[in-house]
Structure 1
Amino acid sequence: MFAISKREFFESFKGVKSIIIIAIFLMTAYFSTKFSDWLLFMNIDFTSQETELIHTFAISVLILVFGMLFTMGLSHDVMNREIHERTVRFLVTRTSRVSIIMGKFLGVVLFWFTCLLTSFLIISIFAHQFDVITFLQSLSLLVYYCACTLLLSVLISKPGFSMFLSMIIGIAFPIFNGWVFFTTNAWISWLKYLLPFYYVNDQDYRFMVIFLLAGVLLFIALKVFKRREC
């Protein structure tokens, strides 16, 4: 499992898409500190809680709006690439299907953890503080996105089709999630408890539920993969 996750981790850094995404994270982190320092310099009134959040606001928005798109765009073929190229048969003979799924998942999560941690460390240098709650909330969203991506890659066997769907889902997901969160329609509003945005609305520990939601998606992906012919 760890060999698979290590391989997937380093594979995630290859290619133009990964370089672009890493650059976006780093640039967002840098310019968010510059912009937030400018706001503070202008003596704009902020509450104590807003002052703590202002440095990490841009990164949080980036992950909320574009996190699913980035994750699926980069890793949509994390599983179906192996299935399409028939290399999964070699993996199945060497290790269990649980280890394959968990190894792939941990490798992708570790890549995004590294990108996120680097961004927050850059921000902490300028802000002289590390916003632990916002970091963990952002990490929980990325873990959820990775679980969704893995599930999509298991369900869709063709990388080309999964890439097309990943673009659609990546754009539609934050729009749908935001609509469900703000709607007053009782028939729809209950869906917010099944989606992650509801649990990062406040600076508290409700984000832990997102890890549970990601676990459910991962469990479904494992069940589907066990039934799939390799």
Structure 2
Amino acid sequence: MIALAKREFFDSFKSIKSLLIILFTTLVSWQTAQYLSSNPLLIQEAAVQGKESEFVTAVTAFIVISLGFLFVFSVSHDIINKEIEGKTIRLLVTKKPRSQIMFGKFLGTLLFWVAIFSISYLVTSLIAQVWVTEEYLRMVAFLTYIVGMVFLVSTLVERTKLTMFIGVFAGIIIPILGIASTIVDKWWMIGIEYLLPYTYIEKGFLMIIPFLMGLMFFLISMKIMSGKDL
């Protein structure tokens, strides 16, 4: 299981899309950090208002919240169904139980995305000399939700081209609906508000809910996988 997680983690870095995302997030964070280091008064003013942490981590938070779904789906949408479509899953299940395969892939994929956005977070925090653990944990919880959803979609839909289409659509529409649900006070937005992670990450200890929901998505995908005819 650990070997599979390591393989999934390192293989994820070999994708051109992954490298472009790493380059984008790192470059944006670096430019932001350079700007903050050149304008220390901005951080001091934010500190006086008690918003230093929000100010420094705003860029990474914005990338994760607005582009996280699109990034993760674009790279990891075929995490399960590519094995089914290519019949390589049959070779894997002869060596390891399906639960170990699923958990190894989930762990490796989650660690990959946490590592990518941790680089972005670390660059900004080091230059601005501010580290906020709560904001970092929010990011991890949010990413766990996304990765869990990606696993569920990739397990339910066996065609990689279809999950790519679904992923692009979801990556665009989910942030719009999620952010709107925290702003628009309409009865028909209530279901969306509580299904998506956006409202929870704003409320302190409730940020654990997206983390648990991501694990729930993964467990459902594991259950579905255990009953699949490969």
TM-score (norm 1): 0.93
1:184 positional shift: 1.6
Secondary structure in structure 2 of the residue aligned to 1:49: coil
1:140 positional shift: 0.9
- Cα distance between partner residues in 2 of 1:107 and 1:69: 19
| 2:196 corresponds to 1:195 | yes
State whether residues 56 and 128 of structure 2, in contact with CA within 8 Å, keep that contact through their aligned partners in structure 1.
yes
Q: What's the C-alpha RMSD, in Å, of the aligned pairs?
A: 1.8
State whether residues 148 and 214 of structure 2, in contact with CA within 8 Å, keep that contact through their aligned partners in structure 1.
yes
Identity %: 28
Secondary structure in structure 2 of the residue aligned to 1:119: helix
| 2:72 corresponds to 1:71 | yes
Find the counterpart in structure 2 of residue 10 from structure 1: 10
Structure 1 runs not aligned, ≥5 long: none
Find the counterpart in structure 1 of residue 21 from structure 2: 21
Q: Which moved further from structure 2: 114-123 or 183-192?
A: 183-192
1:150 positional shift: 0.9
Find the counterpart in structure 2 of residue 81 from structure 1: 82
- Per-residue CA deviation, residues 70-94 of structure 1 (Å, 9 max, x unaligned), is 0000001111111111010111111
Letter in 1 for 2:15: G
| 2:35 corresponds to 1:51 | no
User: How many residues of Structure 1 are paired with residues of Structure 2 in the alignment?
Assistant: 229
Alignment of 1:133-172 (within 5 A): 133-172=134-173
TM-score (norm 2): 0.93
Find the counterpart in structure 2 of residue 228 from structure 1: 228
1:176 positional shift: 1.2
State whether residues 140 and 207 of structure 1, in contact with CA within 8 Å, keep that contact through their aligned partners in structure 2.
yes
Secondary structure in structure 2 of the residue aligned to 1:196: coil
Letter in 1 for 2:202: N
Find the counterpart in structure 2 of residue 32 from structure 1: 32
Letter in 1 for 2:20: I
Secondary structure in structure 2 of the residue aligned to 1:147: helix
1:44 positional shift: 8.5
Structure 2 runs not aligned, ≥5 long: none
Q: Which moved further from structure 2: 144-153 or 181-190?
A: 181-190
Letter in 2 for 1:99: Q
- Per-residue CA deviation, residues 31-77 of structure 1 (Å, 9 max, x unaligned), is 22234445643688435432222111011000000000000000011
| 2:85 corresponds to 1:108 | no
State whether residues 32 and 57 of structure 1, in contact with CA within 8 Å, keep that contact through their aligned partners in structure 2.
no
Q: Which moved further from structure 2: 79-88 or 28-37?
A: 28-37
Find the counterpart in structure 1 of residue 207 from structure 2: 207
- Per-residue CA deviation, residues 180-201 of structure 1 (Å, 9 max, x unaligned), is 2222222432432222001112
Secondary structure in structure 2 of the residue aligned to 1:197: coil
State whether residues 200 and 207 of structure 2, in contact with CA within 8 Å, keep that contact through their aligned partners in structure 1.
yes
